[in-house]
């Protein structure tokens, strides 16, 4: 019997790459995202390899998340792997100039979306005494940078939420992993800069960033280790990225 993976934000980037990699590994898939047409295309691509069920869903909508997950078809209802991937960054303005609307959107997606999806899926995992929650965090949750303000704070939440889930789940066989990528070449920067392709392109000019498949390989690996093993966290960067020195104002 195939195991079931539910992936949020599956229409592009890390999410779509996870879908492709897990399909190759023999998982059946529940794919969610807001862009239904992209989900449909991915379903057509992968359905020859594995069963795929799609849900056009906004993870910010708690009621829709609960209702959609509670009404999964029986063959997809027992989720073995939840990949909380849906997330975004908006803007790089300093905190005193940033948009409150952008802040709200990041909190609603990166924090509340992870909460809603986890809360909907976790009781079933605990009842079956098996399952794995993989959260896609960011190095920004540990390492600040100018303009990262609320985005970094939301990913710090993901880090602490992952750790506290492990504390809550001690005594069960349910696992939790937080994966923290550095710079990766996805639609992330295009979303951050609200469709400005030129600005987004400059983020990756002259360097080699992580690729979505790199993160998908890590997700597949942490899900494949023996059941007695919990990989708590994975921080991963391109070899072309590292930490900068502490900032000092000398004006």
Query: For residue 18, what is the domain's CATH number?
Result: 3.40.50.720
pLDDT of residue 172: 99
pLDDT tens for residues 205-240? Answer: 899 999 999 999 999 999 999 999 999 999 999 999
Asked whether the predicted pLDDT for residue 1 surpasses 90, the reply is: no
First to last CA, the chain: 65
Alpha-carbon gap, residue 230 to 131, rounded angstroms: 11
Task: Examine residue 190 and state whether it is found in any structural domain, yes or no.
Answer: yes
Strands ordered across the beta sheet of 233-236: 52-56, 28-33, 4-7, 81-84, 131-136, 174-181, 233-236
Q: Report the domain count for the chain.
A: 1
Q: Which domain holds residue 156?
A: 4-236
**Distance of alpha carbon 221 from alpha carbon 225, whole angstroms:** 7
Residue 23 CA to its chain's centroid (Å): 17
Active site residue 151: yes
The pLDDT score that the predictor gives to residue 197 is 78
The CA distance from 177 to 132, in Å, is 8
Catalytic residue among 116, 145, 151, 204: 151
* Residue 223 contacts residue 195 (beta carbons within 8 Å): no
Beta bridge pairs of residue 134 = 83, 177
Residue partners of 32: CB distance under 8 A and separation at least 6: 6, 7, 8, 9, 10, 39, 54, 55, 56, 57, 59, 68, 86
3-state secondary structure of 32: strand
188 in any annotated domain: yes
Share of the chain above pLDDT 70, in %: 100
Helix, strand and coil content of the chain, in percent to the nearest 5, comes to 45, 15, 40
pLDDT higher than 80, residue 196? no
243 located within any domain: no
In a domain, 245, yes or no: no
pLDDT of residue 51: 98
pTM above 0.85, yes or no: yes
Residue 200 domain-assigned (yes or no): yes
35 belongs to a structural domain:
yes
Closest CA to 203 of 177, 173, 225, 182: 182
Q: Can you tell me the distance from the alpha carbon of 166 to that of 76, in angstroms, rounded to the nearest whole number?
A: 25
Q: Which of 19, 18, 99, 118 is nearest to 59 (CA)?
A: 118
Distance CA 136, CA 83 (A): 7
244 part of a folded domain: no
């Amino acid at each position: 019997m195939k195991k079931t993976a539910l992936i949020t934000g599956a229409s592009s980037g890390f999410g779509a790459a996870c879908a492709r990699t897990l399909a190759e590994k023999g998982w059946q898939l529940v794919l969610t995202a807001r862009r239904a047409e992209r989900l449909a295309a991915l379903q057509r691509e992968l359905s020859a390899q594995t069963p795929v069920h799609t849900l056009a869903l906004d993870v910010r909508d708690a009621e829709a998340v609960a209702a959609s997950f509670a009404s999964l078809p029986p063959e997809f209802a027992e989720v073995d792997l939840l990949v909380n991937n849906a997330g975004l960054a908006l803007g790089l303005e300093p905190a005193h100039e940033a948009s409150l609307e952008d802040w709200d959107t990041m909190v609603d997606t990166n924090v509340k979306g992870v909460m809603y999806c986890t809360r909907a899926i976790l009781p079933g995992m605990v009842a079956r005494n098996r399952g794995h929650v993989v959260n896609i965090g960011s190095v920004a949750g540990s390492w600040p940078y100018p303009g990262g303000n609320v985005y970094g704070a939301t990913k710090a939440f993901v880090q602490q939420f992952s750790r506290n889930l492990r504390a809550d789940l001690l005594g069960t066989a349910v696992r939790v992993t937080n994966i923290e990528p550095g710079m990766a070449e996805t639609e992330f920067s295009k979303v951050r800069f609200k469709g400005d392709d030129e600005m987004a392109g400059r983020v990756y000019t002259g360097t080699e960033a992580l690729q979505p498949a790199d993160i998908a390989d890590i997700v597949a690996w942490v899900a494949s280790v023996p059941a007695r093993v919990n990989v708590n966290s994975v921080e991963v960067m391109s070899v072309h990225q590292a930490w900068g020195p502490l900032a000092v104002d000398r004006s």
